[in-house]
Chain A
């Protein structure tokens, strides 16, 4: 069966009747994206995989009860996010100081990036500064909007805020980023 042609509602119907192949299709469609998203919260890849596993298994277990009409992805990613944050906070109690340093939606990715692309991006202090000025929430909102491709309504629900203020938040963040980029003429040697 070509699951790609089905709507979320139809796929969910199959899953709730016990169709493991359909469930596998959903997993394969989203797993890489979820993993990347998880990497924004922690460096502990084993933990991310663990939480992905738990998220899918527990959805399967409650497949008869859960009703999904619109977006399976949205359901899964919010469950994934919730559990991941819970587990990170639970672990943090035991972790070494080193691990405690990173917060949700950590900035380490930017540092890694700077190292990685140093030769190609002439990223200077102002832009780095602009990035660090964004709140974790702003970064996450932009990520959810453009990379995970959730709707404003879905992001608002995930981050527990109102749609208009979310809209505002994203606009401001994008503006700040664009501005610093314009200022610094980042276009050198991008290729």
Chain B
């Protein structure tokens, strides 16, 4: 039976019509173009329906296929069954702890907390230790396990970025291969974070609780501001770049004392490189590029580019030929695939490359 289109509502409630108007699928365009030809008397109604759809749909914000897939991967990773079943089988725990544990897991089921987080409050931890001291059959590994369970951890793999909403309303964009963790009570009792890798922070203001990030040897303190910390352990340099507000950055020496404090104004960065800790200026626009999905190189040493690409695309790159390591790369890529990026770099740096799954081979031409 052929569908009748008499009034605006008939058009509105037809999904193929809506898709056509919003240019979502090209498949049906022929159908509707023909329909218009054979129903000239209905064109007026059709155009009205079209306008209404635009008006109601408004901004054409859509989730791209790729973004949808990434979102699913993030969800899929959390669909594992919780681990509490295993651990309570393996270890004998007295009943009071068990009941607290189950309440604790219930707490985790609140939507705003991720299943991937594993946390036990300090209180439980101390019970754990008392128990451990009195019972020899707990192995070291189990002690470590319970220590690790304190932290709420957000982890990104190579080729992955994650947006994190912290309980205090602050936002974090965690770059690839990085870890951000904090103890329970964040936003209530404290705002202390630990970071490995790189992250962009937008801090909600809270005059009572300072926002503190510990990253390798640097400690950054802020009160409502945005900044970028870059502290990959594979890098020689660690950096804190301030975009707005005011932060202090302290260098923590090996003995644990804070040796030196730098106060930053917007546009300034604190850099630790081979025990040299100093303040300088940076280009704000370039610094923010990775948060917008843009790869940016400016006179960047080739080997550093390789490292960035490995992290960004989640691949392993092997380079043969020593000449390449001397060259430098300048360029910008927005949401390009790896092949296109390599192709355009290869023109200026003249190399051949071969991509095979997650492995990339680069060789001098």
A interface, CB within 8 angstroms of B: 20, 23-24, 27-28, 31-32, 35-36, 39-40, 45-47, 49-58, 60-62, 83, 87, 90-91, 93-95, 108-110, 112-113, 116-117, 121, 123, 127, 131, 139, 142-143, 145-147, 149, 174, 177-178, 181-182, 186-187, 190
Number of A-B contacts (CB under 8 A): 134
**Given the complex, which residues of B lie within 8 Å of A91, measured CB to CB?**
165, 169
Contact A24 B72 (CB under 8 A): yes
Known pairs A50-B163, A146-B56, A149-B13; list 15 more (Cβ under 8 Å).
Answer: A23-B79, A31-B63, A32-B62, A35-B61, A46-B163, A52-B71, A57-B75, A61-B109, A91-B165, A109-B57, A121-B54, A146-B18, A181-B51, A181-B52, A186-B51
Asked if A147 and B57 sit within 8 Å, CB to CB, the answer is yes
Please measure, in the bound complex, the distance between the C-alpha atom of A112 and the C-alpha atom of B239, giving whole angstroms: 38
Picked from B13, B15, B55, B59, the residue with its CB within 8 Å of the CB of A39 is B59
A105 to chain B, nearest CB (A): 10
Min CB distance, A171 to chain B, in Å? Answer: 10
Ranked nearest first, the 6 interchain pairs of A and B with the lowest CB-CB distance are A109-B58, A94-B169, A94-B204, A46-B163, A54-B111, A35-B63
Does B171 interact with chain A (Cβ within 8 Å)? yes
Residues of A within 8 A of B56 (CB): 139, 142-143, 146-147
Check A35 against B62 for contact (C-beta < 8 Å).
yes
Residues of A near B265 (CB, < 8 A) are none
* B interface size (C-beta, 8 A): 47
- B68 is contacted by which of A28, A40, A90, A149 (Cβ under 8 Å)? A28
Q: Could you tell me if A57 and B79 are in contact, using CB atoms closer than 8 angstroms?
A: yes
B115 within 8 A of A: yes
Residues of B within 8 A of A94 (CB): 168-170, 204-206
Contact status B59-A113, CB under 8 Å = yes
CA distance A93 to B54 in the complex (A): 32
| Chain A residues with CB below 8 A from B47, complex form | 186-187, 190
Q: A57 near B48 (CB under 8 angstroms)?
A: no
Q: Which of B254-280 contact A (CB under 8 A)?
A: none
Q: Are A108 and B13 in contact (CB under 8 A)?
A: no
A52→B63 CA distance, assembly (Å): 12
Check B111–A46 contact: CB distance below 8 A: no
Residues of B within 8 A of A62 (CB): 109
- Set B9, B57, B111, B171: member contacting A36, Cβ < 8 A: B57
* CB neighbors of A among B23-71 (8 A): 44, 47-48, 50-52, 54-63, 67-68, 71
Binary flags per residue of B162-202, CB closer than 8 Å to A gives 1, else 0: 01010011110100000000000000000000000000000
**Known contacts A55-B111, A190-B47, A27 near B72 by CB under 8 Å:** yes
Residues of B near A32 (CB, < 8 A) are 62-63, 68
Contact A187:B62 (CB < 8 A) given known A24-B72, A28-B72, A94-B204: no
Is B114 within 8 A of A57, CB to CB? yes
B74 within 8 A of A: yes
Closest to B165 in A: A50
B46 smallest CB distance to A (angstroms): 9
Of B12, B54, B78, which contacts A117 at CB under 8 A? Answer: B54
Tell me whether A113 and B204 are in contact in the complex, defined as CB-CB below 8 angstroms, given that A57-B114, A58-B111, A187-B44 are known contacts: no
Task: Enumerate 5 A-B pairs (CB-CB under 8 Å) in ascending A order.
Answer: A27-B75, A58-B109, A108-B58, A146-B9, A186-B47
Nearest opposing residue in chain A for B46, CB measure: A190
Question: How far is it, in angstroms, between the C-alpha of A109 and the C-alpha of B56 when the chains are bound?
Answer: 8
| A68 nearest CB across to chain B (Å) | 17
